[in-house]
Amino acid sequence: MSKQRIEKDSMGEMQVPADSYYGAQTQRAVLNFPISGLRFPRPFIRAMGLIKKAAAQTNLELGWLEKGLAAAITQAADEVIEGKLDEQFVVDIFQTGSGTSTNMNTNEVIANRAIEIRGGEIGNREVHPNDHVNMGQSSNDVIPTAIHVAALEEIDQKLIPALKQLHASLDAKAKEFDPIVKIGRTHLQDAVPIRLGQEFSAYAAMIEHGIRRMESVRFALSELAIGGTAVGTGLNCPPEFAPRVVEKLSEWTGISFREAKNKFEALASRDAAVEASGMLKTVAVSLMKIANDLRWLGSGPRCGIGELFLPATQPGSSIMPAKVNPVIPEAVTMIAAQVIGNDVTISLGGQSGNFELNVMKPIIAHNLLQSIHLMSNGCNVLKEKCVDGLKANRERCEEMVERSLAMVTSLAPKIGYDTAAGIAKEAYETGRTVREVATEQKVLPEKELEQVLDPWAMTEGG
């Protein structure tokens, strides 16, 4: 067995691993919640370190914290921010709904590391997790603040850039494929012609709208609960504390955060996270549609639609030689499904704001950050390993346009709906094209018929 040391908290003595920086409250949570093995991700731990550093420096400025203590806490918090102490964050996601266990995990790690920095013996409480590291704070305002800081940093630094790169790639393909006329499809049935570039312009527009949607959540997520303490009243927190902490967080992240206008709402509600998740879900739905279209358009290579050649990335079968599957779009559809499922959980979590406090914050934080992470990486992979390498099968596109019965649509204004329908029916029954039947029946002069059945003209409208 590993060596142990004894630490104390308000409930008494507790054995903890001798080499750990966390203490008694963290160890109690470890024992109480052996549930999933899921831990808070790096962006959340970084946000907690930023908050504790900002709090320590603010408390120093306000005369609440002695200079030596503040310096040691700041140095320890910097190590949390940089990821040097990630292995010390050991509490399961499925824990107390306020996230108090994780706040105390952070407080204890920073306190004990600060003691070590000062040359003291870990666990001696000369830097106190509550009295010093948590000064002017409560788990009830720290955890929602960390959710907002972490989510907005990830959205700004990873997701939006990934969406912009994917948009640029899709837009480039829309221009590249614009000269290619293909058959449109509605209800999975042949429809009138469309240019392949026009089809891709829709995908590019969906991602462009997705960028706008994700940018719109900045306003809600930039509002921070810090300073509300236990129930929103700000008990044990001086009025100058919150604005100074917010100012520091804004400076260090490059994001314009602001103090929550109503701290009671900021603690009792997680509506900003629900809003952000809703936008993520919408973008996931867009990605699901795009990814599904790509794999359908690339289906084949000989017995499917086959209008696109998708990049071959890996063998597709353990039994069928030379089979190559659309693995990148498939991965993206699974990402989208996970994000949609995460949104359901976040929505249920947002409803759990009983009176003055939401009590499903850990699972909201986990799912929201997971969704952002998955979407960021999914967009990058889709762009780099699929969209950038797409090629059009021009011959296949042109072949299917001419075979489509929907070509008869442009004849209807000239010869009437019923006559046009009769031509389509005969073409279907005889296996001929609409052009061949219409020419045989001489429904229009040859030159006019050629103009009316010009596939490119059909993509121009009018």
Active site residues: 187, 317
How far apart, in whole angstroms, are the C-alpha atoms of residue 78 and residue 82?
6
Tokens 């073409």 map to which residue? 427
Helix (H, G, I), strand (E, B) or coil at 296: helix
Crossing angle between the packed helical segments 160-176 and 361-385, to the nearest 10 degrees: 30
Specify the amino acid at residue 250: S
Total residues belonging to the chain: 462
Closest CA to 155 of 291, 272, 37: 272
Contact (CB, 8 A) for 87 and 56 = no
Tokens of 166: 């994917």
Backbone φ and ψ for 391, nearest 5 degrees, come out as -130, 145
Tokens of 3: 């060596």
Task: Give the list of residues 6+ apart from residue 144 with CB closer than 8 angstroms, or none.
Answer: 224, 225, 266, 267, 270, 358, 361
Tokens of 236: 């044990």
DSSP line for 282-335: HHHHHHHHHHHHHHHHT--SSSS---EEPPP-SB--SSSTT-B--HHHHHHHHH
Tokens of 446: 């040859």
How far apart, in whole angstroms, are the C-alpha atoms of residue 263 and residue 268?
9
Parallel, antiparallel or unpaired: strands 189-195 and 181-186: antiparallel
Contact (CB, 8 A) for 152 and 365 = no
Closest CA to 194 of 420, 407, 439, 437: 407
